[in-house]
Amino acid sequence: MESAQAAAAPRPSEPVPPADRLIVALDLPSATAAIEMVDELQGVCRWFKVGMELYYAAGNTVVTHLRDRGFDVFLDLKLHDIPNTVAAAIRTVSSTGASLLTLHAAGGEKMMRAAVQAASHPEAPRLLAVTVLTSMDAADLNATGVSDSTEAQVVRLAKLACGIGVPGLVCSPQEVAAVRQAVGQDALLVVPGVRPTGEQGSDDQARVATPAQAIASGASMLVVGRPITRATEPAKAAAAILEEIGRAESSGQVVVPGRGI
């Protein structure tokens, strides 16, 4: 199975299969719960996100399990520390075989440069810089001293990260079009805060959109958790999202075909 690192070259003439665009967030409290969910989604999904909740509970074991079964792993640890510590963490998790790894763009230029250097060897995951968390809105940013709009702050951090050499970004679906315009077609844009058409509620996400809206705006990959993992039939819920992604692709309205996947 081809990883995001190995598939970095643009392939504009090739359609991107919907299964290459969907990452299922395993935001679950144990390896047992995560593996049970993966078992239900076997044959439907190929990408899974391991975030802090699951990683702190199960560590590298769950990542290795997913990789051994042929899945691709998005390791969402949102690293944010002094440059040396972040670089050391990246070198440590590189042995897991994860394809994607997050760090906070708010950590600044020195931290991201150290991260890019640490991730320069072939076994390292591809880095994604988190811009502004999807749980935050303008009032939340203002409380932290950021007076600009949410979109302006997202674009500022996106340009900083890409200018340093971070190959991908995490942003909300509401800013993805502006980010795509600002950083160009080659950046891998991974978008959480996605809710299927007809889904009620946004949980703790403040800035959300449907899969079709996010893809049409320029998203490369979508992260979907609770609408799948809390569904009565997770495989059926995932299949419906994949179908919606496929319809967005075939509509001819996609801004960019997800280069870098």
What are the residue numbers of the active site?
Answer: 78
Identify the burial level of 192 via C-beta atoms within 10 angstroms of its C-beta, where 0-12 means exposed, 13-18 middle and 19 or more buried: buried
CB 172 within 8 A of CB 192: yes
CB 171 within 8 A of CB 181: no
Taking alpha carbons only, the member of 61, 133, 142 closest to residue 97 is 61
For residue 132, the 8-state DSSP code is: S
CB 103 within 8 A of CB 130: yes
CB 65 within 8 A of CB 41: no
